[in-house]
């Protein structure tokens, strides 16, 4: 092997990247001091209209103010398309998820039908939730917020509508393809590649109205949520296209590209959209700006730098170069910086005005989501460390962690976002506001049971897989009770989604007495 020259060059690469990251952060600190001058103190308040600061919004009364009405309804039809289709996908995806969960402890359940076998439903569940629910729901809420922050009605409404249609066609074709053997065989990227072109195209099409609207904006400053939305819409097409360029990769290189994507699609796509929504709705509903606007700069740039480099902790112990794992471990730990700064911003703001939680169900969803983000991110930093990773790798712990992040955080935030947006979009209140509250409690109970139960079972499983005097049989037997607990949590989650489906369709049905002038 040619040690010496080439190898040394790679050590240099490693040191170089680490230095670039450190320098980047230092340069940023300097920039921050200058930003003090550039960011007006009012920036954090730019989301508030006249006389709104200091007043919490009670969504039970759902005051639909005239000053937002034109902006809120500027792209009514495409936003509704994104939101309603995503809720339908959510229900379908969680039915598949629950079936999969049952099959873990009742393997004969629906087992004799080729199309309903575990291995077909499992990728359907993941892809429907990732591309049918999370992506369009997050896009819908984010794009609905864009006019509120730019103070310009959304541009290119037809393009956005077309993007929604193309996206949904892509997901439908992708799912049907999976059932009949059109499967690319990579986790998180199962859809057959021609169908994925539709998703990449639709993703890029959403960027058009976004940038056109920003272009027309006369606002001095872009609110923090906009940073996340802009970056996410740049990152997604890049990630998706690189990871799907199958001609580039095979073998171990493909595994590296696969997990680079699979973590980035969470960190650079779903997470920034979710955080953007929290950064808007949390202060907005409370009626006070976030605790420290400067901290949010650290949160954003830290995420951009660190989150894009953490993916290799999925392959620790595998046939990848050690330095690659080392780098991802360090960057995963580095994620604590943006997470803690973001956490301070969110939790201090919420804590100061905790009483608003009594009045606003939307805020409950948002605060629950923000708390889950903190917990699941710190959990992620912790179990990327090799000591923990050796135990948790290959176990249900990972599944529990993924659900805490994607359900506890993103999905809960999106529930809140959709519930906040819908009355303002259609100009009517929810007929049964109490069902929103019920939805929250059923979903929150479900995900807590799911995450705690399965996480603990996964930990036991991991310990057994490390026990040289143990056996694989024991690792299966140990997890059985926790798999049943998971199904119980999952059932609650599905029930809450059915409630949501009802809520969404009841507000869409026009009824005279519910109309608010």
Partner 1 sequence: MNKAYIFVLGGTSTITLSIFLFILVPRLQVSEINKDAVSAQSPYTENELKGRKTYIDNGCLYCHSQQVRDPVAGADKAFGWGRASLPSDYIYDKPHLLGTMRTGPDLSNIGSRQPSRDWHHLHFYNPRLLVSWSIMPGFPFFYEVATSSESPKPGAIRIPGKTDQWIIPSEEAENLVSYLMSLKRDRDPVKASEATK
Partner 2 sequence: MTFKEDRLENEKSDPHEGSSLKFINVPLVLIALFVGFGATYLALRTDNTSMTPGDSRTKPSGLAAASDTGPAGTDANNLPALMEKGKQVFTTTCQACHQATGAGIPGAFPPLAESEWVNGSPKRVIAIVLHGLQGEINVKGQKFQGVMPPFKDQLKPEDIAAVATYVRNSFGNKSDLVTVDLVNKVKDETKSRTTSWGGEAELNAQKWE
Taking CB under 8 A as the criterion, which residues in 321-380 touch partner 2?
321-327, 329-330, 333-334, 336-337, 340-341, 344-345, 348, 352
**What is the C-alpha to C-alpha distance for residues 34 and 32, in angstroms, rounded to an integer?**
5
Question: Could you say whether residue 326 binds partner 1 (CB under 8 A)?
Answer: no
Which partner in partner 2, partner 1, none is near 387 (CB below 5 to 8 A by kind)?
Answer: none
Which positions from 272 through 291 interact with partner 2, judged by CB under 8 A? 287-291
Distances (CA, A) of 219 to 73, 148, 154: 20, 11, 14
Nearest distance in Å: CB 129, partner 2? 30
Q: Which of 90, 173, 266, 327 is in the footprint of partner 1 by CB under 8 A?
A: 327
Three-state DSSP at 428 gives strand
Contact between residue 88 and residue 140 where contact means Cβ atoms under 8 Å apart:
no
Three-state DSSP at 515 gives strand
Looking at the Cβ atoms of 45 and 463, the one nearer to partner 2 is 45
Nearest Cα neighbor of 295 from 307, 286, 303, 287 is 303
Which partner in partner 2, partner 1, none is near 333 (CB below 5 to 8 A by kind)?
Answer: partner 2
Distances (CA, A) of 103 to 97, 98, 121, 501: 10, 9, 10, 25
DSSP 114-150: GGGSHHHHHHHHHHIIIIIIIHHHHHHHHHHHHHHHH
Which partner in partner 1, partner 2, none is near 43 (CB below 5 to 8 A by kind)?
Answer: partner 2
Nearest Cα neighbor of 120 from 170, 197, 176 is 176
Looking at the Cβ atoms of 341 and 496, the one nearer to partner 2 is 341
Three-state DSSP at 222 gives coil
Looking at the Cβ atoms of 132 and 325, the one nearer to partner 1 is 325
Which partner in partner 2, partner 1, none is near 12 (CB below 5 to 8 A by kind)?
Answer: none
Nearest distance in Å: CB 142, partner 1? 14
**Overall size of the chain counted in residues:** 517
Looking at the Cβ atoms of 256 and 406, the one nearer to partner 2 is 256
Q: What is the CA radius of gyration of the chain?
A: 23
Question: Could you say whether residue 264 binds partner 1 (CB under 8 A)?
Answer: yes
**What is the C-alpha to C-alpha distance for residues 7 and 475, in angstroms, rounded to an integer?**
40
Nearest distance in Å: CB 483, partner 1? 8
Nearest distance in Å: CB 486, partner 2? 28
Q: Binding residues for partner 1, how many (CB under 8 A)?
A: 100
Contacting residues for 44 by C-beta, under 8 A, at least 6 apart: 223, 283, 289, 290, 293
Kindly indicate which of the ranges 3-11, 120-128, 396-404, 479-487 contains the residues binding partner 2, using the contact rule CB under 8 A. Answer: 3-11
Task: State the CB neighbour count (10 A cutoff) for residue 484.
Answer: 16
Looking at the Cβ atoms of 44 and 214, the one nearer to partner 2 is 44
Nearest distance in Å: CB 423, partner 1? 30
**Chain residues that interact with partner 2, rule: CB under 8 A:** 1, 3, 7, 10-11, 14-15, 18, 22, 25, 29, 41-45, 51, 53-55, 63-65, 252, 287-295, 298, 302, 315-327, 329-330, 333-334, 336-337, 340-341, 344-345, 348, 352, 386, 390
């Amino acid at each position: 092997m040619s040690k010496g020259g080439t190898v040394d060059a790679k050590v240099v690469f490693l040191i170089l990247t680490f230095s670039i990251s450190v320098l980047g952060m230092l340069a940023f600190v300097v920039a921050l001091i200058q930003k003090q001058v550039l960011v007006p103190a009012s920036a954090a308040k730019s989301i508030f209209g006249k006389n709104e600061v200091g007043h919490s919004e009670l969504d039970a009364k759902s005051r639909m103010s005239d000053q937002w009405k034109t902006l809120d309804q500027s792209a009514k039809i495409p936003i509704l398309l994104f939101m309603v289709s995503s809720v339908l996908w959510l229900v379908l995806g969680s039915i598949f998820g629950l079936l999969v969960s049952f099959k873990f402890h009742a393997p004969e359940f629906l087992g004799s039908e080729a199309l309903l076998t575990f291995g077909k439903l499992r990728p359907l569940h993941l892809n429907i939730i990732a591309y049918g629910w999370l992506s369009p729901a997050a896009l819908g809420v984010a794009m609905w917020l864009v006019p509120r922050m730019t103070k310009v009605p959304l541009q290119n409404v037809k393009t956005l509508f077309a993007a929604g249609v193309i996206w949904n066609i892509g997901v439908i074709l992708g799912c049907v393809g999976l059932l009949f053997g059109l499967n690319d065989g990579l986790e998180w990227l199962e859809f057959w590649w021609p169908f994925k072109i539709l998703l990449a195209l639709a993703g890029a099409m959403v960027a058009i109205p976004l940038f056109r609207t920003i272009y027309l904006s006369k606002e001095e400053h872009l609110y923090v949520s906009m940073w996340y939305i802009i970056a996410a819409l740049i990152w997604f097409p890049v990630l998706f296209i690189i990871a799907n360029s199958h001609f580039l990769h095979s073998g171990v290189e493909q595994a590296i590209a696969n997990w680079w994507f699979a973590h980035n699609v969470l960190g650079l796509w779903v997470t920034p959209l979710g955080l953007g929504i929290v950064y808007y709705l949390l202060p907005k509903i409370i009626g006070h700006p976030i605790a420290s606007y400067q901290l949010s700069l650290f949160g954003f740039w830290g995420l951009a730098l660190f989150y894009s480099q953490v993916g290799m902790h999925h392959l620790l112990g595998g046939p990848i170069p050690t330095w690659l794992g080392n780098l991802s471990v360090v960057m995963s730990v580095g994620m604590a910086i943006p997470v803690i700064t973001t956490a301070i911003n969110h939790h201090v703001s919420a804590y100061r005005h905790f009483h608003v939680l009594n009045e606003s169900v939307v805020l409950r969803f948002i605060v629950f989501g923000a708390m889950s983000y903190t917990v699941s991110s710190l959990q992620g930093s912790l179990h990327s460390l090799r000591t923990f990773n050796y135990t948790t790798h290959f176990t249900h712990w990972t599944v529990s962690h993924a659900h805490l992040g994607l359900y506890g955080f993103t999905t809960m935030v999106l529930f809140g976002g959709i519930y906040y947006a819908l009355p303002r979009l259609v100009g009517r209140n929810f007929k049964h506001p109490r069902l929103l509250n019920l939805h929250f409690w059923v979903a929150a109970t479900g995900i807590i049971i799911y995450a705690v139960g399965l996480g603990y079972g996964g930990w036991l499983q991991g310990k057994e897989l490390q026990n040289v005097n143990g056996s694989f049989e024991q690792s299966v037997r140990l997890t059985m009770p926790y798999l049943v607990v998971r199904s119980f949590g999952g059932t609650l989650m599905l029930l809450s989604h059915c409630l949501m489906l009802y809520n969404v369709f009841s507000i869409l049905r026009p009824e005279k007495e519910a109309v608010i002038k």
